């Protein structure tokens, strides 16, 4: 059974939802930001929230935490790492993912359900999907405007795009999520861990955790 | 040595904060103000100034989206 490790930073707020989502598809435990030990997990989730108060810039301080050194090594060895919202910001700041996140063009906090399209179904996080599938997943952020100086150059590294007309934050080329070159590190602004039960409107987010479970069990 | 690092959004990157301030000025009767950009300032005391550029590039700014100057 796939063991997920969900990192808890001071200021994380979505780690418990991520843990509960992970446990629908495998086993899961929390990892502490001061620990270098990833406890032998098969996949790592860097969750949403406001790590270290988001002081200086979102994700800028969390990047230097001891656990992130271990995550960088885990990622370099091909381990699957998923960054959600603040986790996406942290992975960009850590240079594990390309680009950066800027304040929403509206300068407002946005919380709403959006449809995102799977652009690359070949990653360990999307292999339970087909390219072109639309997933209904909520966003909730103030700093979610994805920026890359040359988005065309990302190619297959664009994993999710906001569906036509639904880009909530001014992200360049409607990009909602990207991967590293190898595809084993993915980050996205929408929150799949909040969309794993029809009771809350959609279970589409479960696809990402299901994909991770498939990916690590086939290793 | 006391130093100031001025950080602003990189040229060409949409700066909604600057735009919002710019749009607010005419309402107060201030005309002819343009190209407003809002950034931040970091003030610090540093013993070895030669380290400051690296500090700026590795922590104080994200060079992908921000420019800085030291004064």
CB contact under 8 A, B59 and A99: no
Q: What share of chain B is helix, strand, coil (3-state, %, to 5)?
A: 35, 25, 40
What's the angle, vertex CA A179, arms to CA A174 and CA A182, rounded to 5?
Answer: 145
| Six token digits for residue A17 | 């939802």
pLDDT tens readout for residues A110-166 = 999 999 999 999 999 999 999 999 999 999 999 999 999 999 999 999 999 999 999
Instruction: Kindly give the interhelix angle for A15-23 and A206-217, rounded to the nearest 10 degrees.
Output: 60
B20 contacts in A (CB within 8 Å)?
Answer: 107
pLDDT tens readout for residues B19-62 = 999 999 999 999 999 999 999 999 999 999 999 999 999 999 99
- Any idea where the domains of chain A sit in the sequence? 3-217
A170: DSSP letter: -
Which residues lie closer than 8 Å to B8 by C-beta, 6 or more apart? B37, B38, B39, B66, B67, B68
Architecture of domain A3-217 in this structure: 3-Layer(aba) Sandwich (3.40)
Q: Which ipTM value was assigned to this complex?
A: 0.87
Q: Strands A145-147 and B66-70, how do they pair? A: unpaired
Select the residue of B16, B64, B65 nearest A105 (Cβ to Cβ): B16
By C-alpha distance, which of A188, A133, A183, A126 is closest to A163?
Answer: A133
Select the residue of B20, B59, B65 nearest A102 (Cβ to Cβ): B65
- Per-residue pLDDT averaged across B5-32, rounded? 94
A107 contacts in B (CB within 8 Å)?
Answer: 16-17, 20
Are residues A182 and A171 in contact, defined by beta-carbon separation less than 8 angstroms? no
Q: Which residue of B has its CA nearest to A171?
A: B14
Task: Give φ, ψ of B24 to 5 degrees.
Answer: -80, -25
CB contact under 8 A, A93 and B62: yes
Q: What does the pLDDT read at residue A185? A: 98
Domains of chain B: 2-70 (3.30.1280.10)
B14 contacts in A (CB within 8 Å)?
Answer: 102, 105, 145, 170
A29 is annotated as an active-site residue: no
């Amino acid at each position: 059974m796939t063991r997920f490790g969900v990192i808890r930073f001071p200021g994380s707020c979505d780690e418990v939802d991520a843990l509960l989502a992970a446990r629908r598809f495998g086993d899961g435990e929390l990892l502490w930001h001061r620990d270098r030990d990833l406890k032998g997990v098969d996949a790592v989730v860097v969750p949403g929230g406001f790590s270290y108060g988001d002081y200086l810039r979102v994700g800028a301080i969390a990047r230097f935490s001891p656990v992130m050194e271990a995550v960088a090594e885990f990622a370099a060895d091909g381990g699957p790492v998923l960054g959600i919202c603040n986790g996406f910001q942290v992975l960009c700041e850590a240079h594990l993912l390309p680009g950066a996140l800027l304040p929403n063009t509206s300068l407002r906090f946005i919380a709403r359900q959006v449809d995102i399209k799977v652009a690359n179904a070949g990653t360990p996080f999307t292999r339970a999907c087909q390219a072109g599938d639309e997933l209904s997943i909520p966003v909730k952020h103030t700093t979610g405007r994805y920026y890359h100086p040359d988005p065309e150059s990302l190619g297959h590294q664009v994993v999710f795009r906001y569906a036509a007309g639904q880009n909530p934050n001014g992200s360049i080329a409607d990009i909602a999520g990207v991967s590293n070159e190898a595809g084993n590190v993915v980050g996205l602004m929408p929150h799949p861990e909040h969309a794993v039960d029809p009771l809350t409107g959609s279970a589409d987010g479960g696809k990402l955790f299901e994909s991770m479970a498939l990916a690590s069990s086939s290793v | 040595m006391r130093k100031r690092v001025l950080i602003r959004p990189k040229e060409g990157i949409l700066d909604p904060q600057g735009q919002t301030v710019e749009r607010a000025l005419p309402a107060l009767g201030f005309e002819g103000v343009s190209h407003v950009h809002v950034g931040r300032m970091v003030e610090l005391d540093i013993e070895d100034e030669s380290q400051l550029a690296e500090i700026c590039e590795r922590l104080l700014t994200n060079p992908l989206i921000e420019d800085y100057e030291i004064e």
